[in-house]
Every structure is written in structure tokens, then in C-alpha cells.
Structure 1
Amino acid sequence: MNAQYPMDHFKTFKNKITRFLMVYKFALDEMETKIEILKEEFHLLHEYNPIEHTKSRLKSPESMMNKLIRKGCDLSLENIRNNIKDIAGLRITCSFISDIYRINDMLHHQHDLKILEVKDYIKNPKPNGYQSLHLLIEVPIYMSDGLEHVCVEVQIRTIAMDFWASLEHKIFYKYNEAVPLHLLQELKAAANSATALDQQMERLHREISEIKEANAAEEEEQLKLMISNQQFSIPSALLSLMGENKLNEK
């Protein structure tokens, strides 16, 4: 019996860890589904996709344990849940700075999500040059035994910001955070260059959009819809009916 107890104890602990991580995985799945719907909606209505790609990750149990130790907390699943808010992470990469705030607004309008915290490292970059918009979002997850409120960290950044952050991470990993001063200075200069590139691309994007809108206003074409790669024409009778309904509303 005594020989069997350690195995039973291990299985119980394994099940607790599995369930603990499972709810965070489901929260990421929920967020990625929401992002896909927003992408599709925006593409169909505006013929433009503000999201280049997304990437999600779960912290490993070892990483969570080390972070909890650094915070000076006792080791327990409850302490991990209460003190570590980036167990589930979702990174959204955009083409333009304006897209970042557009996605931020979209997420704020999801009424089942609760925005716990916003850190704007774009308007207020970190001293090393890091830029990104960070959101802590509470996601409701319905499990078989009840409702769980799960925290997900969402980072929204441009391609240039993401490229810089990836390079900075690789350099710090190689030097084990003891990075020579001249590399820190060059990294900061590179961050400034990335910011200048983002601002230039934002201006080009705005000017091209204005030209496109002006050209569209001059063209008189039959209205068409594209849904799931299927094209639909809008009959003139339906357009007339919609116009009459609009007049009646007034």
C-alpha cells in the first residue's frame, strides 16, 4: 500500500497541473477565435486586414516556478495564478501603428472580455527602446465544473517592433543579460530607426488610402459583395428598396 501511494500522489498532482494549464490553453483558443472573426469581419467590410499574424504560447511549469521564486512567493498553484499574469500569452503583429490601436478598440468592445490593464510602450517606450501595446485581459472559460476567469497577456506590435524585440531577445540570451554597452547603444539606435520606419510607412498607408477612397468615389459600378470567396451582385431593386426605407426612417 505504501509503495502504491507515491504513484497515486503523482497522478493526482499531474491531473491538477494538467487542468491548471488546460484552462489557460482554452483561454488562448478563445482569444485566437475572436481575433480570426475580427480579421474576417474587417476584411469583408473594409477589404483590408490589419493583422499580419498571431502567435500564442503557454509558460512552462519550470518558468512559472522560477518567476514565483523571484517574486518571493511560496510555491503553490494558487500563488502562481494570483501572481503570474502572463502564463498565457498572445502576440498580434500588424503592419501599421494605427492598426495596433484599431485592434485595441476592437478588443475593448468585446463585452465578455474584461480589460484588466493596459501598458502603452509605444507612446512611452522602455528605456532600451522596446515598443509594444500590452493588455491584460480576463477571459471567461466554461469548464464542466463551472466558470473560470482566466488572464491572458496580449501584446500588439508592428512588424518592425517585433523584429527589433526578437533581435534584442537573442542578444540578451547570448550574453546572459550582461550585454556590452556599445551593443545596448546600437540596439537603442536600431529601435529609433524602427520607429522612424513605422512612422514613414504609416504616412504612406494613409496617403494611399486617401487616393483609393477618392478613386472609388468617382467610379460608378454595380455593387458587389464577396463572402467566403463567393461573389454576390446587389440587385438594383434591392438598392432602391433600401433607399426608400432610409427615407421612411427620416
Structure 2
Amino acid sequence: FPVGFRVGNKRFMREAAAKNARIEVGLREDSDTGTTTWKRFLKNPDGSFRKTKFVELKEQDIEFQKLWEDSLKRADVLGTPEVKGVKGMTSVEKTPEAMLKGVLRYKHGVSVFRDGTLRWDMVDITMTHFRPCEIGMTISAAHKLGYTHDVFGEPLNDANQTCELRVQDVVLPQNCADNLVKATKFLDDLLVRQYGEDPYYNVESPEDLIGHLGMGIAPHTSGAIVCRIIGFAPVKGHYGHPFFHAA
């Protein structure tokens, strides 16, 4: 969320709130009433939302202090946390995200990339076969994930049997697991507090992440490849099929 250029270099939201900072965001028009706002959507009496139309860029008073206090209350965060914003935006219409999202990221200890995604960088390690015992996978979990037979076609009954890795399955490093748990807790909290929906992940431990989907993306591309988490290993990178890494 933008805090403007009249706050300190640390870009604390609380400082912008104290100054009730004016920020440059898109001026938008509500076609139903003819009024202007900086918000992209406005709520209808029936609870639905209507979209506003971008007009121009303009420095505006957005009631920063009120937004800040409301976001802290909705996130159930006490005190004056050191949540940071950005001085300004570079997008064409300069539409800010909900301030509550930044507060929830602080609450759950996750950081954000400039495009709004949660990312973890790691080295690619090619793998075509694995043993369930090497990635913390139980036999029952293996069967649920579709690994019912080993590489020789024998029924999978022992965690020491060798299985052929499916093309879009990945094994992540153990030191990434706790961060992923934090990310799911943030997303569940966001669904509940920002959008009024039920939580989706309900993850309490890394083991609960098994079977969930993620996205792999190379630093020089913008298209992500869907993957499925099947386990964790004590390595400084992530295991994936050669086809997955090549994609």
C-alpha cells in the first residue's frame, strides 16, 4: 500500500497514518452516482459490489488514519506494528491493494514480491525416482497421492521401495516448510477477514501441505508451472522432474 513521499525512508504505515498522508492513486468514477473515489469497487446495499471507472491519476486524501485503524482492528492486531508500505506505485492506474493485506502479512511473518505474490527462491535439482522414506512420505500418503506401485510394477508396501516421480510432483527443502505453513495461514486469514469466505488450507504443520498445489516459476519468465507437493527433504534446493524444470 502506498504511503506517499512525506514519510521517513522506513516507509512505516503508522507514520503515514499519523500524518493522514495524501497519496497519488487513480481517481475513479462511480457511474451509478457520478461521485469520485479511489476505490476500484464499491459495495451495493445487497452486499454485492460494483466496479468504478478509472479517470486520471491524482493525489488524494484517502482517510489514511481511519483505514489504518480499521485494518488493525479487522486483523486483530494490537499496538502500532511496524508494517511497511511503498512510497508510490508504478502501475498505469495506480490501484492499491487492500491495506488489510499488508497488516496480515506482518501478522503472519510473510514478505511479498513486487507483483503481490509470495515467493521462495531455491536451486533446481533434477530427480526421476525416489524412495518414500527419503522424503518423509508414509505408505498410506503415497497411495493417496497415486503411488501404488514401485518402478518394477510391484505393489508399494515398503517405504524403501523405489518409485518413479510423476512429472509435476516436487519435493521441497525442509527449511522452506515453515514458511509455506505461514503463507497458508496468511491466505486463510485473508479469505476470512478480507473476503468473508471460509478458510481453505487449514494447515497446522508441514505434513498438512502434502498433496497441495504450488507454482514454479523461473526468474526470467512470467508464466508459472503448476506442481504438487509430495514431500520434504534435507537439501538446499528442490527436487523436480526434468520435464518440470525444463518447462
Q: Which has the larger radius of gyration?
A: 1
Higher helix fraction (1 or 2): 1
TM range (shorter): under 0.3
* TM-score (norm: length of structure 2): 0.22
Return the structure number with greater relative CO, CA threshold 8 A, min gap 6: 2
* TM-score (norm: length of structure 1): 0.22
